[in-house]
């Protein structure tokens, strides 16, 4: 990536990065199906928004829920209005946000570090497994991260262009307000993580004295305040109590019971191998002369600390860290590239090259065994994992091939190829994860059951109600059944309130509550489609 083409034009890096991440965002299996929580929940709530025209009520089977903010449902509903209801359109806002986040990572890295580090950092973000998986989910966190990066970039622009600091400050403030609409008070952690930059570097940028920053905050809060006000006017104080009560409970209790060290192993595992490069990147960054360390170094460290202290810990909260993990990993990769080209630390360079190739060979062998001798493994569809392993392994053989072939002639081009080989393994694996449906087609059995006989004709031509007696309306399988039911009817806890002859989903454990004359038409997991007498 250190080529003359990329140095000639400011636009060239954005085009290259758009192609790099765009291919991954476009590759997909023809078979798609949603995750239940939270993706299916948001996708169905957005569908009800479009069908009812009610952009205020956050509902589930006709009952107001209002246990979180409404931003992602609005984004998905807008996508539905443009492209129709489907998994693809539900996931489109996240994919666009992911592309924007990659571009902004480059722009921020270029301002704080160097164009080369920025380019590698943005490319690494697009080759980070958990980031790319989340990029094709209908959830809040990737759009939230893109908003946060936009706000940080606006602050940097205000610093670089003092004569336009009002406009950039206004934009930075707006992103905070819109972030509140997406993730409620969780955006406060982001603001807190910016405190080192805002305070320590205040003499240089004076953001805290920019009135437009606070005006932008108020403007950005308008959608959230308006929605909450309309919700309170319609449902009383219930929306306020549930929304903020839910967040308080998240802050006070570890609902997933994963322990305080969760992020210390979860982030390295889900974003492998880049956190392993980011750790030395922290030390290298601290020792470097690059400016604004309170931002590109202080921000991720403070945010990581705050997320670790927050009692509820999940795999998606750290997504906000990954652009900076990518930049720190890029800093290390750039130093390694310098060692490679100048022949400094030859044992380190050779050792890492052989290590990557060793991992690659193991992956290729494992994938080949799975493909050539599937009878040894009883798992259905294991061949997909075999393809993913081979793709990752082939990519990680590239640094060794370049190292071997270059011999004594190590110039900028061969160095860039050697560095690029580090990214090809994860990038290839991500592409195969999408293409094989391992990512994107998460619950094919539910969708298949409703689009094939005997249930297909019934659910296509009749409203399907739901009877909730002992099982929650938001139970995971019911979330999927709701989205893939073409005409959801009404919900009840008493079958006698439904019209005789109606069709309804009922949990298998509650079948005893129905009369013996109820006809069981088919079962999907733990839910049975019945026709009432």
pLDDT of 67-115, one tens digit each? 889 999 999 999 999 999 999 999 999 999 999 999 999 999 999 999 9
Domain limits at 449?
Answer: 444-531
Q: Return the exposure string of 405-428: e unless at least 16 CB atoms fall within 10 Å of the residue's CB, then b.
A: ebeeebeeebbbbbbbbbbbbbbb
122 and 244 together in one domain? yes
pLDDT for res 412: 83
Please name which of 465, 458, 436 lies closest in space to residue 521, comparing C-alpha atoms: 458
In a domain, 18, yes or no: no
Shared domain for 357 and 266, answered yes or no, is no
Is residue 32 one of the residues assigned to a domain?
no
Residues 373 and 245 in one domain: no
Neighbouring C-alpha atoms within 13 Å toward the C-beta of 266: 19
Residues 456 and 521 in one domain: yes
Same domain for 420 and 449: no
Spatial strand order in the sheet of 488-492: 488-492, 464-467, 503-507, 527-531, 519-524
386 and 494 assigned to the same domain? no
| Residues in Cβ contact with 116 at an 8 Å cutoff, skipping those fewer than 6 apart | 1, 2, 334
Nearest to 434 by CA among 38, 79, 98, 71: 98
Residue 88 within a domain: yes
* Distance between CA atoms of residues 433 and 192, nearest Å: 36
* Phi, psi dihedrals of residue 206, rounded to the nearest 5°: 55, 40
- Examine residue 273 and say whether the peptide bond preceding it is cis (omega within 30 degrees of 0): yes
d(CA 447, CA 483): 9
- Say whether both 394 and 500 belong to one domain: no
91 in any annotated domain: yes
Q: Is residue 137 part of a domain?
A: yes
- Predicted confidence at residue 405, as pLDDT, reads 82
Asked if 25 and 136 count as a contact pair (C-beta separation under 8 A), the reply is yes
- Cβ distance 247 to 184 under 8 Å? yes
Residues 66 and 173 in one domain: yes
Q: Cα 360 to the chain's mean position, in Å?
A: 27
Provide the token pair at 104.
């902004």
Please identify, among 435, 467, 500, the residue that sits at the C-terminal boundary of a domain: 435
pLDDT above 90 covers a percentage of the chain that reads 83
Q: How far apart are CA 102 and CA 108, in angstroms?
A: 10
CB 392 within 8 A of CB 426: yes
pLDDT for 255: 58
Q: How far apart are CA 275 and CA 187, in angstroms?
A: 23
Residue ranges in the chain whose pLDDT is less than 50:
2-5
Same domain, 80 and 144: yes
- 42 lies in some domain: yes
Q: Which of 345, 358, 349, 351 is nearest to 419 (CA)?
A: 349
Are residues 232 and 299 located together in one domain of the fold?
yes
Total structural domains in the chain? 3
Q: What is the pLDDT of residue 313?
A: 87
Using one digit for the tens of pLDDT, what is the confidence trace for 220-248? 999 999 999 999 999 998 888 888 776 66
- Specify whether 431 is located in the same domain as 454: no
Tell me what pLDDT residue 3 has: 47
Q: What pLDDT is stored for residue 239 in this prediction?
A: 87
Q: What is the pLDDT of residue 256?
A: 63
Give the DSSP letter of residue 236: T
Strands 527-531 and 63-64: unpaired
Domain assignment present for 30? no
- Residue 406 has a pLDDT of 74
Same domain, yes or no: 358 and 485:
no
The pLDDT tens digits of the residues spanning 8-36 come to 568 899 999 999 999 999 999 999 999 99
Domain C-terminal end among 409, 435, 461: 435
Report DSSP state, residue 343: T
Closest CA to 125 of 323, 375, 309: 323
Asked if residue 344 is part of any domain, the answer here is no
Q: Are 212 and 310 spatial neighbours (Cβ–Cβ below 8 Å)? A: no
Token pair of 227 as six digits: 């929605």
Task: Identify the domain boundary among 404, 435, 466.
Answer: 435
């Amino acid at each position: 990536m250190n080529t003359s083409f990329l140095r000639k034009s400011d636009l060239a890096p954005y085009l290259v990065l758009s192609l790099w991440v765009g291919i991954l965002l476009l590759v997909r299996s023809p078979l798609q199906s949603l995750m239940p929580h939270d993706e299916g929940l948001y996708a169905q709530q957005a569908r009800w928004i479009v069908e009812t025209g009610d952009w205020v009520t956050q509902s589930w089977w006709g009952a107001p829920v209002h246990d979180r903010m409404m931003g992602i449902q609005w984004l998905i509903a807008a996508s539905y209005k443009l492209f129709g209801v489907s998994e693809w359109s539900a996931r489109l806002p996240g994919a666009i946000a992911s592309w924007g986040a990659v571009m902004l990572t480059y722009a921020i890295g270029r301002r704080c570090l160097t164009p080369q580090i920025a380019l590698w950092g943005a490319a690494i973000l697009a080759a980070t497994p958990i980031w790319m998986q989340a990029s094709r989910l209908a959830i809040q966190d990737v759009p939230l991260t893109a908003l946060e990066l936009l706000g940080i970039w606006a602050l940097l622009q205000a610093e670089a262009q003092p004569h336009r600091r009002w406009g950039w400050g206004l934009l930075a403030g707006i992103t905070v307000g819109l972030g509140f609409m997406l993730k409620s008070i969780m955006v406060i952690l982001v603001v807190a993580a910016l405190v080192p930059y805002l305070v320590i570097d205040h003499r240089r940028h004076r953001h805290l004295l920019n009135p437009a920053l606070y005006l932008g905050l108020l403007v950005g809060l308008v959608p959230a305040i308006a929605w909450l006000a309309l919700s309170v006017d319609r449902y009383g104080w219930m929306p306020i109590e549930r929304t903020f009560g839910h967040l308080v409970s998240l802050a006070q209790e570890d609902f997933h019971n994963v322990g305080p060290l969760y992020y210390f192993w979860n982030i390295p595992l889900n974003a492998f191998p880049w956190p392993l490069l980011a750790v030395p990147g922290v030390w290298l960054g601290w020792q470097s002369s690059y400016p604004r360390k309170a931002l590109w170094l202080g921000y991720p460290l403070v945010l990581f600390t705050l997320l670790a202290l927050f009692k509820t810990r999940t795999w998606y909260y750290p997504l906000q860290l990954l652009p900076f993990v990518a930049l720190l990993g890029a800093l290390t990769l750039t130093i390694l590239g310098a060692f490679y080209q100048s022949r400094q630390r030859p044992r380190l360079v050779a050792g890492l090259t052989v290590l990557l190739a060793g991992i690659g060979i193991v992956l290729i062998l494992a994938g080949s065994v799975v493909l050539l001798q599937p009878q040894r493994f009883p798992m259905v569809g294991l061949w997909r994992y075999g393809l993913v392993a081979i793709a990752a392994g082939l990519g990680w053989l590239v640094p060794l091939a370049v190292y071997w072939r270059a011999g004594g002639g190590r110039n900028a081009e061969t160095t860039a190829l050697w560095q690029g080989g580090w990214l090809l393994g994860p990038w290839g694996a991500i592409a195969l994860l999408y293409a094989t449906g391992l990512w994107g087609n998460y619950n094919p059995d539910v969708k298949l059951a409703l689009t094939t006989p005997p249930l297909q004709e019934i659910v296509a031509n009749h409203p399907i109600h739901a009877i909730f007696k002992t099982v929650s309306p938001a139970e995971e399988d019911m979330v999927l059944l709701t989205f893939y039911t073409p005409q959801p009817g009404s919900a009840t806890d008493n079958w006698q309130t439904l019209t005789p002859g109606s069709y309804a989903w009922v949990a298998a454990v509650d079948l005893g509550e129905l009369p013996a004359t109820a006809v069981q038409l088919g079962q999907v997991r733990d839910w049975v489609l019945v026709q009432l007498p």
